Amino acid sequence: VKNDRGKYYDRFRDRIIFPIADINDMAIGFTGRENPNNPDKRMGKYINIPNTPIYDKSRVLYGLNKAKLDIKKENLCVLVEGQMDVIMAHQSGFGNVVASSGTALTEYQLKTIKRYTENLATSFDMDAAGKEATKRGINLAVELGFSAKVISLPAAKDPADYLKENAETWPKMLKQAQNLIEFCLNNALKSNDAETAEGKKEISKSVLPIIKRIPNKIEQAYWIQETAKKLGVGETVLMQELDKINFSPLLVNSDPVFPVKNSGGHKMDLEEYAIGLALSCPEGQNQYRIEPKCLFTNSQLGEIFEAIKNTKKKKIVLADLKKKLPPHLAEQIDGLAFKAEVQKCLADEFEPEKEIKFCFRQLKKKFLKDKLSKLSLAIKQAESKKDKTLLKNLTEEFAQLSKEIS
């Protein structure tokens, strides 16, 4: 890293280095933990690399590359906070453990876990300083339909410490893990007097917002029933209170594979991605031969696409392609190919032919939507001119295009 005086220094000097791998076991980043024998008081206990084109901490779960098969086998993912927790768990023979590496759980991370299991157990400190971020992650898990549980470890113990001394009792701790809502309800009952009106109100305020996020109405009704029993109130009353709760869903329904963000935080342009895939995926050449140039609104990318279509070789050689293009287009080739390679690395599972077909479906939709917008404007003009023949033709064309999009 470059310092204020323009000199370079090792950001991870005298630290224990943890390589971070993606789902395919490729190293994509590093975390440096302070050396216990020589702690650096000027820096934090952990130092992470910043986001890069291939590393985005909101999309990575530490240890998932090693844990995915065990998660599937056990039908349970145990989520902890730190890398040492994961390492100690795996060394102790419990391979279904992953970490969020100190960051709040994200939708992408949870959707990745959901490919292997819908059962989640967490040892997060629910009363920690960053509990709002923890709650947000837990609420996301509830919205996604996870069966979430909380592992209660002895006070001041993190999983690494506990496993070091009591590895043989870890399965018992997992068995005793409480359902998330049961855990929150019991905690609220400990902190408030359920015999008083004020206590009942505070307890319901702790639990109902989580119950509200449960997508399954039967499960939701079950927890309303349980809460009503503990509070000594009618289920109807709690249902009325539940209906009053307004919240914005945390899920954004983002596509898990494409498009993904680059290092600048912006989605890679769809047309650029299509060209990049053509340059880096020979498996998709047949698809490119049948697609029209008109799908590209960027004229320069359209010219590059045309040159790719006209290439007779099965695999595109970048150097040969550059020779066929004018200099201002040739200089873009390496950058486009590199960007697509980065996206491929970021994707958990990449199937070239499927990705290329998906990409062109999106380009076609965009092309047709643009045509519909222009047709809509033309229809309004035909209506204002009272040109019935033109209006009929335009309306029929609009209906046909609408069918193609759907």
CATH number for the domain that contains residue 115:
3.40.1360.10
Domain boundary among 244, 279, 294: 244
99 within 8 A of 82, measured Cβ to Cβ: yes
pLDDT at 255: 40
Are 115 and 218 in a shared domain? yes
Are 230 and 367 in a shared domain? no
Are 355 and 222 in a shared domain? no
Number of domains in the chain: 3
Q: Rounded CA gap, 137 and 332, in Å?
A: 40
pLDDT at 32: 87
pLDDT at 310: 83
pLDDT at 253: 46
Q: Which helix (H) or strand (E) holds 156?
A: none
pLDDT at 25: 85
343 within 8 A of 318, measured Cβ to Cβ: no
Are 377 and 337 in a shared domain? yes
Domain boundary among 185, 209, 244: 244
What's CA 296's distance to the chain center, in Å? 29
Are 163 and 297 in a shared domain? no
Are 48 and 81 in a shared domain? no
Is 231 domain-assigned? yes
Is 130 domain-assigned? yes
77 within 8 A of 117, measured Cβ to Cβ: yes
The closest alpha carbon to 134, from 143, 144, 145, 123, belongs to 123
Are 162 and 298 in a shared domain? no
Is 304 domain-assigned? yes
pLDDT at 341: 73
The closest alpha carbon to 251, from 216, 224, 215, 208, belongs to 215
224, two tokens: 């309303």
Q: Which amino acid is located at 67 in the chain?
A: A
Are 120 and 228 in a shared domain? yes
Write out residues in the chain with pLDDT < 50, as ranges. Answer: 127-130, 253-267
pLDDT at 100: 85
Q: pTM score, two decimals?
A: 0.62
pLDDT at 131: 57
Are 240 and 295 in a shared domain? no
Are 79 and 185 in a shared domain? yes
Is 7 domain-assigned? no
Is 8 domain-assigned? no
The contacts found for 222-226 with CB under 8 angstroms, 24 or more apart, are 223/181, 226/181, 226/182, 226/185
pLDDT at 108: 85
Q: Rounded CA gap, 220 and 239, in Å?
A: 10
* Cβ contacts of 120 within 8 Å, gap of 6 or more: 76, 77, 79, 113, 141, 146, 147, 148, 149
Query: What domain range is 100 assigned to?
Result: 64-244
Are 68 and 189 in a shared domain? yes
Is 395 domain-assigned? no
Scanning the structure block, which residue is given the tokens 């335009």?
394
pLDDT, tens digit (0-9, with 9 covering 90-100), for 146-191: 999 999 888 767 899 999 999 999 999 999 999 999 988 998 999 9
Cα three-residue angle 110-114-115, rounded to 5 degrees: 125
pLDDT at 264: 34
Is 162 domain-assigned? yes
Are 116 and 190 in a shared domain? yes
The closest alpha carbon to 339, from 261, 255, 396, 287, belongs to 261
Q: Rounded CA gap, 371 and 342, in Å?
A: 32
Domain boundary among 58, 73, 91: 58
Q: Which amino acid is located at 88 in the chain?
A: M
Is 2 domain-assigned? no
